[in-house]
Copies of this chain bind each other. A is one copy, B any other.
């Protein structure tokens, strides 16, 4: 069964290509928080943005349009161990669909200025949803990622930064 979607807009990002994203610099949980960009929604969908400026955070569903093929086992950036693709956020996955939570700074018509961009310029947007209480999970376990975070940060620092997230 084939499921067909269309682009409802496009991401404008300071990252012009994948190689512009330095994994070392952006690996920690707040790495992208200061990266600003725009979500340009196609004019025909602009009316659907009504009331969105009341929300502080948005869920962006997008197409990893430069992703070519995938393996079920994949090596995450900065890692040596192969992981199951569904336990990673790799762009190379059976359906190359991405999800990022961004902070809404300002709406101007069909343009949403946001922070927290980790997509590259020209990424097709499939959907925008409000981030709600149901998406907040405070006590979480992070599997193989837990180790990475302990390597780079103290638990205390993470906790403090999460509060500002």
Residue of B nearest to A59 (CB): B99
Main secondary structure of the interface of A (DSSP, over half): mixed
Residues of chain B with a CB closer than 8 A to A97's CB: 5, 61, 97, 126-127
Number of this chain's copies in the complex: 2
Residues of chain B with a CB closer than 8 A to A20's CB: none
CA distance A163 to B139 in the complex (A): 7
A114-138 vs B: 1/0 string, CB under 8 Å?
Answer: 0000000000101111111111111
How extensive is the interface on chain A, given as a class? 35 or more
A88-B162 contact, Cβ under 8 Å, with A3-B7, A48-B72: no
CA distance A89 to B131 in the complex (A): 9
Residues of chain B with a CB closer than 8 A to A132's CB: 29, 89, 140, 142, 145
Residues of chain B with a CB closer than 8 A to A29's CB: 132-134
**How far apart are A106's CB and chain B's nearest CB, in angstroms?**
14
A84-B48 contact, Cβ under 8 Å, with A56-B141, A99-B59: yes
Residue of B nearest to A146 (CB): B54
A73-B50 contact, Cβ under 8 Å, with A86-B128, A132-B142: yes
Can you give 6 contacting A-B residue pairs, CB < 8 Å?
A: A5-B95, A99-B99, A136-B165, A137-B165, A138-B164, A138-B165
